[in-house]
């Protein structure tokens, strides 16, 4: 199940990168109200994009293989991305010593290890995945109404003694070209208007029902509300949930005046 979470990042990317800007969302009235309320709290994607770029430290702990530690740099316009991994036992050239640096500029990947370019196709493909997915995770709550999304209100449900408004989010197969799309069950806190947690599926890897869970903690940085800590859980054979991953974003800095040339390797 640990590996499923890592593959989830790739599956999420597959849903993201093939969406067409011309594809409209399918959102019912109640879901739209919840999204609108969330945007009033976090300001929406336009507010985030006005920050131009971001730098942060990212700690990816899967609780089994170890922890990847990276300094992340992203430019919102064009989604150019760069990261320096001082530790990388999980997702980036595991088992190979040395600092790893990834770059994605104009959708062209590059990676170095201990200062030397790596031309391995798998490593380059992983660079594309991680550069796009790490930015998506950072901005996820600003992208719930992306083109091609389908949202349906499912009423109210209780979790840990609190009653939440619940929205089912998936993607239009006509847009994604996939027979089975990832499914998310978003739990909106009626008091804060934020998504406290969500369940999700991974049909591409045999998890056809949204049984995996992600819990979120938020922090406001320079006026931007971000889920800076996420914890992943999976059920065992008895349906009991145990933590399998923890992902922390720290030392966030906006408006660094990055250019895409700065990210070239």
Q: Report the 10 Å Cβ neighbour count for 13.
A: 18
Q: Name every residue whose Cβ is closer than 8 Å to that of residue 150 and which is 6 or more positions away in sequence.
A: 25, 26, 27, 169, 170, 171, 172
Q: State the pTM of this model.
A: 0.86
- pLDDT, average across residues 41-59: 97
| 8 A C-beta contact, residue 92 and residue 101 | no
Write out pLDDT tens, residues 73-128: 999 999 999 999 999 999 999 999 999 999 999 999 999 999 999 999 999 999 99
How many beta carbons lie within 10 A of that of residue 68, not counting itself?
23
DSSP helix/strand/coil, 44: helix
* Whether 31 contacts 151, CB under 8 Å: yes
- Give the whole-angstrom CA distance, residue 8 versus residue 196: 19
The residue with greater pLDDT, 175 or 47, is 47
**Alpha-carbon distances of 138 from 133, 233, 239, rounded to whole Å:** 9, 19, 29
CATH number for the domain formed by residue range(s) 2-13+20-263:
2.50.20
Bridge-based pairing state of the strands 26-27 and 149-159? parallel
Residue 24 pLDDT: 61
pLDDT (average), residues 8-32: 59
CA-angle at 141, arms to 246 and 58, nearest 5°: 35
Mean pLDDT, the chain, whole residue set: 89
Place of tokens 């806190």: 189
Percent of the chain with pLDDT over 90: 76
Q: What is the pLDDT of residues 191-210, one digit of tens each?
A: 999 999 999 887 766 888 89
Are residues 119 and 113 in contact, defined by beta-carbon separation less than 8 angstroms?
no
């Amino acid at each position: 199940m640990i590996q499923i979470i890592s593959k989830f990042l790739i599956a999420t990317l597959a849903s993201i990168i093939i969406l067409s800007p011309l594809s409209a969302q399918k959102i019912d009235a109640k879901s739209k109200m919840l999204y609108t309320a969330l945007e009033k709290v976090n300001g929406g994607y336009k507010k985030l994009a006005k920050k131009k770029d971001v730098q942060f430290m990212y700690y990816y702990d899967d609780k089994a293989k170890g922890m990847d530690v990276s300094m992340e740099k992203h430019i919102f316009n064009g989604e150019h991305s760069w990261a320096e991994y001082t530790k990388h036992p999980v997702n980036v050239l595991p088992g190979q010593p040395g600092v790893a640096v990834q770059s994605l500029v104009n959708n062209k990947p590059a990676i170095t290890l201990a200062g030397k370019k790596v031309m391995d196709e798998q490593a380059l493909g992983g660079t594309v995945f991680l550069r796009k997915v790490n930015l998506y995770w950072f901005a996820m709550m600003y992208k719930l109404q992306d083109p091609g999304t389908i949202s349906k209100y499912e009423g109210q449900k209780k979790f840990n003694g609190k009653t939440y408004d619940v929205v089912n989010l998936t993607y239009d197969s006509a847009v994604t070209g996939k027979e089975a799309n990832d499914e998310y069950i978003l739990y909106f806190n009626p008091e804060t208007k934020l998504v406290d947690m969500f369940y999700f599926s991974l049909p591409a890897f045999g998890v056809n029902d949204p049984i995996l869970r992600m819990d979120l903690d938020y922090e406001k940085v320079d006026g931007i509300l971000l889920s800076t800590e996420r914890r992943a859980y999976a059920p065992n054979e008895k349906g009991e949930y145990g933590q399998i991953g923890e992902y922390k974003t720290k030392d966030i800095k906006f408006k660094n005046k990055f250019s895409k040339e700065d990210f070239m390797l």
